[in-house]
Amino acid sequence: MQPDRIASPVGTPLFETISVSKAYGAYMALSNVSFSVSDGEFVSIVGPNGAGKTTLVNVVTGLLRPTVGEVRFLGRDIAGVGPVELARRGMSRAFQLVNIFPALTVRETLAVAVASRLRRISNPFRSLKRDDALQADVERVADVLGLRARLDSISSTLSQGEKKLVDIASAFALNPTVILLDEPTSGVSTGDKHSIMEVLVVAARAAGVRAIVQVEHDMDLVERYSHRIVALQEGSLLADMPPDAFFADPAMISAVVGARPQTRRRAP
Amino acid sequence: MSIPSIDISSPVRAQRSGLRVNGLWVLLGLLAIMALLPLVASPYAIILMLPFMGYGIALLGFNLLFGTTGLLSFGHALFLGTGAYTAAALTFKFGVLSFELLLITAALISGLISLAVGALCVRYTRIFFGMLTLAFGMLFHSFLYKFYNITGGDQGMRVLRPLLLGMEWRGGKTAFLTGPFYYYALALFALLSLAMWRITASPFGLHLRAIRENAGKAAYVGVQIFRMRLAAFVISAVYGGIGGVILAVTTGLADPELAYWTHSGNLVFMAVLGGSGTFAGPAIGALAFVLLQDFVMSITQYWRFVMGAVLVLLVVFMPQGLSGAAEFLVNRRKGGR
């Protein structure tokens, strides 16, 4: 069964990579990878360790410039534009490792992103506390991700799962068109993984996010939430297909998950 | 739309509770007490408060860079020197005596120098930033020391008594320093504290804190790392320049020692002594430093040894500085834990 789309599709790709290759010296981390993401899609990038998943995300988010090829986001070339410009154009990113501002409260963490989006930085004497529009937006994002009760908690005191959510929430606070998540649930217990993914998908709909791209190892989550799977192997595109087709092919699964036998649980 | 609830319990539910002293009120309270000081204290004690005000202002700026943005400069005396020599050059060489003009010019020149120096330094962080700022501080010191014709070399340059609000004040040097100049500097200190408080409580200040906490992530939520670090560097330099003017008018001399690297070290000492984690901490550290140095110098010529020992004890036993220790004590009394 296909999960519902997170937004209604329009057909044009939101972003695409066109024959992207990335070389580190003689080593080809990515070779000739082309894929696109359209409106409303939840796309999972999968592959064994060293397949080039993180390199692909880094290229797609403009952190790395591809050696060859083009990365287009909303019709414009974004190769190597850097994180700040990328955020401005509507693509935001959450990280594999928990990536928070340890001493800031959740409210302050979200306010960092909202302040950049609402361009509140040029006047250093402007009050943060009395900026009602900014504070309301912080609370809206917190509500969307179920973090309202934690707003005044210091980030470093949160549980691992909550820290992940705060990281994801600050990506949402930019009101992005596309969110890229590098293993959003790594280091989180199995039970919490599903809760985080549920929150994520509901939040994406509520916040008007038009597509989610994630790198994920957990095949259970991949199967349950994705509309499409992009599989990489040794830097090349192995497959780009819907989950039903992907999981029906044992060769595909063993290529991605590795040789070890894996019993998959079907989603209830 | 219902949000699936996540029940992820974490061991500590640390809300921001306990004592959150408003640092601005602490500082303004201290300044209010100082306003009454001339009624009771000796001229010596009052004049001793002038370097405190000079350092206090410089440290407000220094801590925007250190405590807020997370960049530890070992060359900040460069800007004290800039302010002092600006005051000297204007009063002694160009006959400009308006104190307001001295302040504005010192702020502008410090700002310009810091823009150039900072554009290189803030590309680096941690020890690399520290070493670069140290290097620029030493360059500036050598310039002051060697270019005798311009700077007076090791003799320094005289700073003439300025006009405050365009008025010439009669009376001796002590009367000037303990009277009008004292209150002028105090008012300036209060004003600059208010301005710095606004800066730290603004979205701008929040972005600086985000950079301190995690620059890599900050970039992905739209924080312009380089530009913000440079802005903090320039603001801190402007405060340093203004502090330098007050120091130089107090002693009547712009001395190359003001820009020497050990003087930068003193600024770091003051910030650590008072506690860089709070708003008022560094200024309190400046007060404690000035008083301690005066006291120790009056009893032994080995005062540097004593100051060094104090620094060691401080780092080991009170890493949060005086303000951190005070907050801890008050919280313990209040909360019983």
Which residues of chain B does A87 touch, with a Cβ-Cβ cutoff of 8 Å?
220-222
Inform me whether the pLDDT recorded for A91 exceeds 80: yes
- pLDDT for the residue B20: 53
Inform me whether the pLDDT recorded for B2 exceeds 80: no
Inform me whether the pLDDT recorded for B311 exceeds 60: yes
Residue A168 CA to residue A144 CA, distance in Å, equals 11
Residue A87 CA to residue B223 CA, distance in Å, equals 9
Let me know if A4 is exposed, middle or buried by CB neighbors in 10 A (0-12, 13-18, 19+): exposed
Residue A157 CA to residue A199 CA, distance in Å, equals 21
- pLDDT for the residue B181: 92
pLDDT band at B141 (very low <50, low <70, confident <90, very high): confident
- Give the tokens for residue B252: 């009547």
Taken as a whole, chain B contains a residue count of 337
State phi, psi for B109 to the nearest 5 degrees.
-65, -45
CA A131 vs CA A115, A119, A134, A136, B115: distances in Å: 10, 12, 5, 9, 30
Cβ-based neighbours of A62, under 8 Å, separated by 6 or more: A71, A78, A79, A80, A81, A82, A83, A85, A86, A91
Q: Do A111 and B203 touch (CB under 8 A)?
A: yes
Which residue, A135, A141, A258, A148, is CA-closest to A204? A141
User: A233: left (phi > 0), else alpha (psi -120 to 50), else beta?
Assistant: beta
pLDDT band at B8 (very low <50, low <70, confident <90, very high): very low
pLDDT band at B80 (very low <50, low <70, confident <90, very high): very high
Q: Name the more confident of B238 and A50.
A: B238
Residue with tokens 């009547």: B252
Q: Where are the beta strands (DSSP E) in A9-101?
A: 13-24, 27-38, 42-46, 68-73, 76-77, 91-94
Residue pair A141/A169 in contact (Cβ under 8 Å)? The answer is yes
- pLDDT for the residue B261: 87
What is the separation, in whole angstroms, between the first and last Cα of chain A?
Answer: 11
Question: Residues of chain B with pLDDT > 70: what percent?
Answer: 93
Which residues of chain A does B6 touch, with a Cβ-Cβ cutoff of 8 Å?
146, 161-162, 165, 192, 195-196, 199
CA A83 vs CA A56, A204, B229: distances in Å: 15, 21, 17
Which residues of chain A does B16 touch, with a Cβ-Cβ cutoff of 8 Å?
105, 152, 154
Question: Is the pTM here over 0.95, yes or no?
Answer: no
- Look up residue B179 and give its amino acid: G
Residue pair B250/A135 in contact (Cβ under 8 Å)? The answer is no
Residue with tokens 């900072």: B118
- pLDDT for the residue A174: 87
User: A80: left (phi > 0), else alpha (psi -120 to 50), else beta?
Assistant: left
State phi, psi for B156 to the nearest 5 degrees.
75, -165
- Give the tokens for residue B297: 């110098």
Cβ–Cβ contact B224 with A under 8 A: yes
Residue A43 CA to residue A213 CA, distance in Å, equals 5
pLDDT band at A6 (very low <50, low <70, confident <90, very high): low
State phi, psi for A46 to the nearest 5 degrees.
-125, 165
Q: Could you confirm whether domain A13-257 is CATH 3.40.50.300? A: yes
The 10s digit of each residue's pLDDT in B208-232 is 999 999 998 898 888 999 999 999 9
Mean pLDDT of B51-68: 94
Residue A101 CA to residue B44 CA, distance in Å, equals 47
- pLDDT for the residue B297: 86
Cβ–Cβ contact A264 with B under 8 A: no
Cross-strand bridge partners of residue A24: A27
Mean pLDDT of B35-55: 90
Mean pLDDT of B285-301: 88
- Give the tokens for residue B237: 């330099």
- Give the tokens for residue A232: 């990489």
Residue A57 CA to residue B35 CA, distance in Å, equals 60
- Give the tokens for residue A142: 């917190």
pLDDT band at B104 (very low <50, low <70, confident <90, very high): very high
Q: Closest chain A residue to B12 measured between Cα atoms?
A: A157
Helices (H) and strands (E) in chain B — how many of each? 14, 2
pLDDT band at B3 (very low <50, low <70, confident <90, very high): very low
Task: Break chain B into its structural domains and give their ranges.
Answer: 42-261
Cβ–Cβ contact B95 with A under 8 A: no
- pLDDT for the residue B334: 67
Which residues of chain B does A205 touch, with a Cβ-Cβ cutoff of 8 Å?
1
Cβ–Cβ contact B300 with A under 8 A: no
How large is the C-alpha radius of gyration of chain B? 21
Whole-number mean pLDDT of chain B?
86
- Look up residue A261 and give its amino acid: P
Q: Name the more confident of B115 and B170.
A: B115
- pLDDT for the residue A267: 44
Q: What are the percentages of helix, strand and coil residues in chain A, rounded to 5? A: 35, 25, 40
Q: Do A83 and B219 touch (CB under 8 A)?
A: yes
Q: What DSSP designation does B92 have?
A: I
The DSSP element (H or E) to which A233 belongs, if any, is: strand A228-233
Q: Do B223 and A165 touch (CB under 8 A)?
A: no
Cβ-based neighbours of B86, under 8 Å, separated by 6 or more: B102, B105, B106, B109, B110, B241, B244, B245
Residue B270 CA to residue A129 CA, distance in Å, equals 30
Taken as a whole, chain A contains a residue count of 268
Whole-number mean pLDDT of chain A?
82
CA B54 vs CA B49, B59, B177, B276: distances in Å: 9, 9, 13, 18
Note which residues in 143-182 of chain A have CB less than 8 A from chain B: 143-146, 152-154, 157-162, 165, 167, 170-171, 173-174
